[in-house]
A and B are shown apart, each in its own frame.
Chain A
Amino acid sequence: MVDGVSMYGGYIVMRKAKNPQKGKVLRKKVRKDGVVQRYWYRARTATEKSWAGHEEVRQEGRFEFSGIGKDIYRAIIKAKREYWVPLDQYQELNARDFLENPERFAEKGVWAWFNVQS
């Protein structure tokens, strides 16, 4: 028996690049004509340096929160405010478990708008 609220959409996470260049971060840029350009840029600030050798990956996924309303409410606000995105494409979880131990079900990333089917 599952009954709850689903939080779904697209998000950006940082993953280790396959062939990383030292001190550089791989980025993707979609041109107006739809061609995807990949380019390495030099990491400059302290934050960017920690992501050297990584690339930005766009993914789609969903949290399927079950449990009581209060826990679901807190879990969704936590996921949004503390930048948690799902580990799997379909992440079914109890909202209370997520509140107690988010690392088990989620990783750090940024929710970004792109069209996903419900």
Chain B
Amino acid sequence: MRKKACGRGSMSSLDFSLGVMSDETVMLDFDDTTLDFVLYWARVAMDLFELGGFLIRKSSEGCFHTVFDRIVTWKECLRVVAMVVLNSHHEGLKKWFILQARKGSMTLRCTPKGLKPCPVVVHREGSQDDRIQRFLEREELITLIMCELSEPEDLVDY
């Protein structure tokens, strides 16, 4: 199998975005905020709903993604995110939450988007071996897809 170094931090040549989607993992998407604010609300949600652990990724300047470790039902997932939305009064998160509720699953971007690079992990806390492990596996798959699509089509061997 051919191996190729793929720069995940580089700008995308894709005309679309790829993201990890799940309806049994609690995810949060904060825009225009600080890491301390995200850490505070991630800890509150983790303690209140016993979510085990969390992972914070920085997607661009002032934008952070949070993924929690415990497997939950879609109903519980909505309860957790709604609690954070209602108490944090964060408009960006509210908008994102409405879109996710409309879709019926939560999605976080894993590819570059416009001038924004790939998200990178900036903080880990608690257990990481259940849904976070699964999330990172899916992210790895997306990296492989990006590598494949960034190669010229006539050089690809199936």
Quick one: given A5-B138, A6-B107, A90-B103, are A113 and B145 in contact (CB under 8 Å)? no
Residues on the B chain within 8 Å of A6, using CB: 18-21, 105, 107
**Residue count of chain A within 8 Å CB distance of chain B:** 31
Interface-facing stretch out of A23-31, A36-44, A72-80: A72-80
Q: Tell me whether A8 and B19 are in contact in the complex, defined as CB-CB below 8 angstroms, given that A64-B105, A77-B145 are known contacts.
A: yes
Using known A-B contacts A112-B15, A115-B114, A118-B29, determine if residue A5 contacts B21 with beta carbons closer than 8 Å.
yes
B83 within 8 A of A: no
Which residue on chain B has the smallest CB distance to residue A64? B21
Q: Closest residue to A90 on the B side, CB-wise?
A: B103
Q: Could you tell me the distance in whole angstroms from the C-beta of B63 to the nearest C-beta in chain A?
A: 11
Check: A111 CB closer than 8 A to any chain B CB.
yes
B108 (CB) vs chain A CBs: closest residue: A118
Point out which of A3, A10, A64 has the most chain B C-beta atoms below 10 A from its C-beta: A3
Cβ B18 vs Cβ A7 within 8 A: yes
Q: Scan residues 63-118 of chain A and give those whose CB is less than 8 A from a CB of chain B.
A: 64, 66, 69, 72-73, 76-77, 80-81, 90, 92, 110-113, 115-118
B142 at the A/B interface (Cβ < 8 Å)? yes
**Contacts A4-B21, A73-B145; A111 near B109 (Cβ below 8 A):** no
Query: Which positions in A face B, CB cutoff 8 Å?
Result: 1-11, 62, 64, 66, 69, 72-73, 76-77, 80-81, 90, 92, 110-113, 115-118
Q: A64-B105, A113-B15 are in contact. Are A69 and B141 (CB under 8 A)?
A: yes
Asked if A3 and B19 make an inter-chain contact with CB atoms under 8 angstroms apart, the answer reads no
Pick from A5, A9, A110, A113: contact of B142, CB below 8 A. A5
